[in-house]
Amino acid sequence: MKHFVIIGGSKGIGKATAELLAAEGHRVTIFSRTPYEGHAHSVEWEEFDVTTDEWSDQMPEQIDGLVYSVGSINLKPFRGLKPEVFQQDFNLHVVGAVKALQAAQKNFNKESIPSCVLYSTVAVGRGMPFHATVSASKGAIEGMTRAIASEWAPKARINCIAPSLTDTPLASKLLSTEEKKQAIGANNPMKRVGEVSDIAEMTAFLLSDKSSWMTGQIIHVDGGQSVL
C-alpha cells in the first residue's frame, strides 16, 4: 500500500483520482478548502487553502506521490485583463504547486520512486482566444515539469497532463446544459467533452509503477484536440 497526497481533491478530477487509488488499496490524504464527501475509507481530508495557508508539518510522514489538482478557469478578453489577474492565476497554479511539491519532497518515501502529477491545458500548445491567463500559468507548469523531472531523476518522477475541456465542477458554467456540452463537444475530434474518469485514470496510471519509465512528459488527454 502506498500513500498519496492530492491537493484540491474534494471534487472533480482530484476526488475521482483519490477514489481510484483507494479502490486499488492505497491510502490517500486530501488537502483542500472544502471537505471530501466521498465514501472511500482510506481517504483522509485536511483543510488547506493554497492561496493563504503555508505548509509546515501537515504533510504525511511518508509520501509515495502527489497530485496538484487545484485550478481555475478564467476566460476573458486580453485587452481588459489587469496584471493582477495574471499574478493571481500564477500564484494559484504555479506558486501553489511549487510550495506543495517542496513540502512533499521532504517526506518522499526513500524505499520507492515517488511520482507526482501536475495539470496543464490544451490551450498552451494550441492558441485559443480568451485563454491568456491560464495559458501563461500552465505554460509555466509544463516548463517546470520538465525542469523538475531532470533534477529528480532517477529518484523520483513528475509528469503533467494537458486535458481539453472536461466536465468537472470547475467547468460547470461552460457546460451547464446538455446543449452546451454538445456544442463544445462538436468541436473536438472525438465529438465530446472530456469526462472526469478520462483524466483520473491517466493520473492513477502515472502515479503507479506501470509508468515507471515515464518522467518529464506532457501527456495530452484531449480527444486529439492538440494535434487534429
At 72 the pLDDT is 85
Domain boundaries, the chain: 3-221
The pLDDT-based confidence of 163 (bands split at 50, 70, 90) is very high
DSSP state of 166: B
CB count, 10 Å around CB of 76? 13
Query: What are the contacts of 101-108 at 24+ separation with CB within 8 A?
Result: 101/66, 101/68, 101/148, 101/158, 102/55, 103/55, 103/58, 103/59, 104/5, 104/59, 104/63, 104/66, 105/156, 106/59, 107/59, 107/60, 107/61, 107/62, 107/63, 108/63, 108/64, 108/155, 108/156
- Output b/e per residue, 17-48; b: 16+ Cβ within 10 A: bbbbbbeeebbbbbbbeeebebebebbebeeb
pLDDT single digits (tens) 37-96? 988 999 999 999 999 999 999 999 999 999 999 988 888 999 999 999 999 999 999 999
Please say if the pLDDT value at position 173 is more than 90: no
Question: Is the preceding omega at residue 163 within 30 degrees of 0, hence cis?
Answer: no
CB count, 10 Å around CB of 182? 13
Q: What is the mean pLDDT of the chain?
A: 96
When mean pLDDT is compared across 136-140, 166-170, 206-210, the lowest value belongs to 166-170
pTM, entire model: 0.95
pLDDT single digits (tens) 119-148? 999 999 998 999 999 999 999 999 999 999
Classified by CATH at the fold level, domain 3-221 comes out as: Rossmann fold (3.40.50)
Residue 194 φ/ψ, nearest 5 degrees:
-70, 150
